Amino acid sequence: MNYRTIPGLLLLPLLALIATSQNPLEKQNVVKEEKREYSHFTIRDADLVCMAINADASRSVIGTSTGEIFMINPVPGKIINIHPFKGHTKQINTVNYRGSKDKFATGSTDGTIKIWDCKEVDKFNQAKELSRDESRAIKPAPEITINQAHTGGVRCLCYSPDGKKLVSGGADGLVKVWSVETGKMLKKFSGHQGAVNTVAIQKDGKLIASGGSDKTVRLWALEATAISTSVLKGYSGPVMALAFHPNKSWLAIGSGKGMPPQIKTKKKGSSKSSPGKKNSKSKSSGEIKIVDLNTNETVMDLKGHDDLVLGVMFHPKENRLVSTSNDKTTRIWNLESKSEGYREESLDIYFQSIFSGDGRLLGTLTIRDITYYNGTPKWPVQEIELKSKSPSKNEESDKSKD
């Protein structure tokens, strides 16, 4: 089985490190190349769902389908907690850092939001001698737990720029604002006719954007009444991703005709991600639109993804945007030329591709693999073929003939 990728990206076939039988995480060596360096990790017995990188790129948190949490120091490629700890009773759908490295929040299908103090997590991480089962039994206590935050589960989280508020969206179609210090709900916004899949906050902290399965984007004034200030419509499918530009009044919106991916578990260690069901009557396509909120007009329509767009994020310093999709690609767009500048393809769906707060790190996440790149790729889109990790029977027979 072959897959396509770009020059300079060495994946599992080219990296190997023997892991201990107790360690669920296979760490790949930190690799230095002429153009960039990166570290790569593979999870053997957990399904990855979401990730976050803190502002100075010193920590990254990974949430899994079983409610467990991994923590990694991405720059030197170091696993901070060899064994994950149990954060939630069900799948973690979203994780978000509060700017610096002191706190992060997680939201789950179990309906809860938890705010974690990294100092408490560090105490747990120092117990390297624990087995996997022991680590699951002894877990750090969250600083704050918000029970029944959303009926049907928490889908998305976003900290306010000052770190004092946490915005959440849920399967119940509601957007809520919480106090980070007390865990009390400060505001509740209703209007979506379906699940809220993504939330974002403008840099000045005054405007919230939410995207839903009802194919709309709603804008809420954080200090105003519980009425949406504006509704953006006309998207062909569920809105899965939103991002505010760091310096302009732009909002990037990711949508498309496909359905969100599903994690299908056949047996332990053999889970895979697959796109949701497609409409057989129409070709599935991804949409990335950048809207100027001063005029509510689309200033860019970035075309290239063949399926539902799952994530978008502006680079904090460069004029670029990264996106992920059900089509199993991560793409980086040059916003000056309004064109695709880089593409990476995988055997699995990229659930997330995100920049660190300082912009020097790019992290990508699939159901099994985590990769951290030091620097943003800028070379033109090119493609080469690499062999997958396990050769097919036909390939093996061909080799025996030789």
Per-residue pLDDT of 357-389, as tens digits, reads 888 889 999 998 998 888 766 543 333 222 223
Per-residue pLDDT of 279-317, as tens digits, reads 433 455 899 999 999 999 999 999 999 999 999 999 999
**Cα–Cα distance, 398 to 114 (Å, whole number):** 53
Higher pLDDT, 244 or 270: 244
Higher pLDDT, 40 or 124: 40
Which of 152, 203, 157 is closest to 176 using CA atoms? 157
Q: Could you tell me the pLDDT band of residue 263, with boundaries at 50, 70 and 90?
A: low
pLDDT for position 398 = 42
Q: What is the mean pLDDT of residues 71-99?
A: 82
**Cα–Cα distance, 77 to 31 (Å, whole number):** 10
The region of weakest confidence among 3-7, 73-77, 191-195, 303-307 is: 3-7
Report the alpha-carbon angle 154-157-162, nearest 5. Answer: 150
pLDDT for position 74 = 81
Per-residue pLDDT of 319-344, as tens digits, reads 999 999 999 999 999 999 999 988 88
Using an 8 Å Cβ cutoff, are 261 and 349 in contact?
Answer: yes
The region of weakest confidence among 6-10, 181-185, 279-283, 348-352 is: 6-10
Per-residue pLDDT of 5-54, as tens digits, reads 223 333 322 222 223 334 444 444 444 444 456 788 887 778 999 999 98
Share of residues in the chain with pLDDT > 70 (%)? 70
Alpha-carbon torsion (311, 12, 72, 76), positive or negative: negative
Higher pLDDT, 319 or 84: 319
Mean pLDDT for all residues in the chain: 78
Longest dimension (CA), the chain: 74
Q: What is the mean pLDDT of residues 246-271?
A: 76
Per-residue pLDDT of 308-322, as tens digits, reads 999 999 999 999 999
